[in-house]
Every structure is written in structure tokens, then in C-alpha cells.
Amino acid sequence: MLASLILAAATASASFPADGTYRYSATLNGQPAGHWTLNVKAGSDGTEIDEDSVAIFMGMQMTAKAALVLGPDFSPVKYNGNYSAAGLNPIVSVAATQNGATVTSSQAPPAKNLALVPNTRHLVIIDPGLAAGLFVLPAQLAAWRENSVTWVTPISAEAASLATQSTAPSAPPDGVPPNDIAISMVGTSSTGRIPVTIWYDPATMVPDQIVVPSQNAILTRERS
């Protein structure tokens, strides 16, 4: 799997994520569950991915706005999120460095300083239910040539491991372009192990489908 990622990185555009708008729709247990829009643009601090999502879970509407900024080597620089669900409006922010991150969350005050977990050299920022962090994950792992990173979860201010698995699906599922390749990973959190599989275009590193089997959730890129 790591060899495939390295090969993909060699053939991918050096400007990933390319400026533009990327739209995804989700299903949960086979039913429509919402829409995610990612706007990628070059900014003064690096590449910025602005996310706007609307989801329905157990009949409850949840909305989120987030901004993830990446440095030249795809390392996260900062993250800001503003979420709304069930009358709550948690606000989170992350300032990342080479050695860890400082997370401020209205759900888990005060601010927490998180170090890299053992045997990792980079961190990624992924909030469950949001897409920006997963969107850039294949490109990050390829650029760093690593199969294990620290996963920072802003909403809970936690750091855990996220590692690639030795096996991944070889045949793209229905609705995924035939030339896509997959990377399968497992993350740990306070709620247990969370597997995820990302199908992405090896020429652009852009995900076409993100599957979280533990939640029966599938996020698929819209191409119309």
C-alpha cells in the first residue's frame, strides 16, 4: 500500500489540492444523509480548504463550517470549525506545529496541548462527520511517505494513532471510477477503533468515495 501511495504521489499534480469546488453527498445506512462542499484556494498562509456541510442524523439536522490550512508539505497549519446541532454551537480551533498541536474547544475547555503519539512524525486534523481532513489524507500520506500518523480530533481535543492497513480493496465499488485506488486505515479514539477506506484518483489524489463502515456511512463525490 505504501508503494502505491508513493507512486501516486510521483504522478499527482504538485498543486494538489487544485483550486476549485468539490462536492460530496452522503448516505447513512443506505439513506441520503446530507451534502458536503469543499472550496480549495491558495491563501497567504498556504492552501485553505473551506468546508460547508449539512447532514441529517436520526432525524436531527446538523450543520458545520470549517477551514483547514495546509503548509507547502501538506502539513496542517491551523483549523477552525463552527458546528451546530441540537441547539448546541461548539466552536473549535487548532494551531499545529511539527511536534504537536494546541486545541481549543468550547466542548472541552481549557485549551489542550497535544503531542505526537509514539512512532509518528506528522499529524492530521480530522473531525468525525466532516470531510476536509479525509479529503487531503491520501495526498498527505503520499507526500510524507508514512503509514502511521497522529490523528487530532478538534471537537474532543484528543490525539490518537491513525495507521494504514496492509490490505485494501482492489476493485472499485459501483459509482467509483475504475482507475481509482484505495487506502484503508484504522484510527483509535476514546470511542474505539474507527476504520475508513478512501477511494481516490491516483493522478490528482482527489477522493471519489470515503467509506466509514462502523457508521455505515459513505461519502461520494458529485461530478455533475
DSSP secondary structure of the chain: -HHHHHHHHHHS-TTPSPSEEEEEEEEETTEEEEEEEEEEEEETTEEEEEEEEEEEETTEEEEEEEEEEE-TTS-EEEEEEEEEETTB--EEEEEE-SSEEEEEETTS-S-EEEEPPTT-S-EEE--TT-SHHHHHHHHHHHHHT-SEEEEEETTTTEEEEEEE-S----SPPTTS-TT-EEEEEEEEETTEEEEEEEEE-TTT--EEEEEEGGGTEEEEEE--
* Global pTM value: 0.89
Average pLDDT over residues 197-216: 91
Residue 9 pLDDT greater than 70, yes or no: no
Each residue of 11-22: pLDDT tens digit? 444 457 789 999
User: Residue 95: its pLDDT value, please?
Assistant: 97
Of 55-64, 84-93, 177-186, 207-216, which has the strongest mean pLDDT?
177-186
